[in-house]
A and B are shown apart, each in its own frame.
Chain A
């Protein structure tokens, strides 16, 4: 049975690129346009991975991670931040919120899959 990944990004093209890459890696994909949209969609899903952008309208990535970590079913799901943000302080905020890793855009598909393989058992 295929594993399921949630992709959260306000950019439709980025969601498409990440989704394509993950499908190549054998994942089924659920998409959210921002943190709130993703939170609305995850009930009922058994997620093995979440990849989220940082800067998004309505709900940003840091807040989204904090909200996800409050949900018992998703407390230990690996969460990778995929963002153009390079500031160390932002990265620390992500880590403190519960992110598993930080990937700076633009991403390399092979490297993304290698990273995913390290965090998804």
Chain B
């Protein structure tokens, strides 16, 4: 192409001498390009390795979560597992239910004791009826004694005193029986009330316990199902992560192409340098002006680093700069 042609000169030596600076520039361009590729590959490698690190950490964490071997808990390694936590929750709930059942048994036992108290109260009531009969008998006896004392006259005045005393005792006995009956009735009433409360409470506890058990079983079943889904998801993500690690690893391996390119470019640069030296030996006495060739290169180069190779540093902008007109 005309754009790349060297100026026409008289001899081959002059042509070669004119081109010598270009060989220098080519060698430097190749070296810098090789260095840039290496820098870019290292940057990509660093990022890939960071990604691999994180993907591996993800796989490791997921595996620990699935196996319940996490070390973050203060209560022990095995408690990290969601499955283990659910089983522990189940055991705790069952323990609470067992405690409630025990309370129900205690209530039942209290009901039986109160029933025995009621039976004893009934016995007391029966005994009080017998005491009533005795009191009535004593009163009749006192009345008869008074009548006999009147018939007997002064000789039986002592019977009258005895009869009065029997009447007094019968009255006191009757008052005590009434008091005992009253207390017994109150006791019966209180025990009946306590019995009713306990029976209602025991029945409510039993229903609440059955409802709680059903609810807990349902919630735990939901947890188990969710845990199963979560495990499947984590297992899938673990496989995906492992696959990503493999792919990144393969990509990093592919990036080793840079080393091969670098070597090949180094060989080319070496040969170019050899050629330049050989040409220089043959043209050391040839006077030429390479300015036109260098100017042409300068007009072709757009990047700052390319112009730097030519020894011109006229760039006013840096990479990433934005300038609005």
A binding-site residues for B, Cβ under 8 Å: 11-14, 16-17, 20, 55, 84, 105-110
Contact = CB atoms under 8 A, between A and B. Distances in A.
A64 B250 CA distance: 31
Contact-size category for B: 10 to 19
Interface string B207-231: 0000000000000000000000000
Contacts of A14: 256, 259
B38 interface: yes
Interface in B223-254: 249, 252-254
A12 B40 CA distance: 11
A105 B256 CA distance: 8
Nearest to B254: A106
A108 B253 contact: yes
Contact of B42 (A16, A84, A105, A107): A16
Given A16-B42, A16-B45, A11 B253 contact: no
B260 interface: yes
B255 interface: yes
Contacts of A17: 45, 252, 255-256
A55 B46 CA distance: 24
Given A12-B42, A17-B256, 19 more contacts: A12-B38, A13-B41, A13-B42, A13-B45, A13-B259, A14-B256, A14-B259, A16-B45, A17-B252, A20-B45, A84-B259, A84-B260, A84-B263, A105-B259, A106-B254, A106-B256, A107-B256, A109-B249, A109-B253
B257 interface: yes
29 contacts: A11-B38, A11-B258, A11-B259, A11-B262, A12-B42, A13-B41, A13-B42, A13-B255, A13-B256, A16-B42, A17-B45, A17-B252, A17-B255, A55-B263, A84-B259, A84-B260, A105-B256, A105-B260, A106-B253, A106-B256, A106-B257, A106-B260, A107-B253, A107-B256, A108-B253, A109-B249, A109-B252, A109-B253, A110-B249
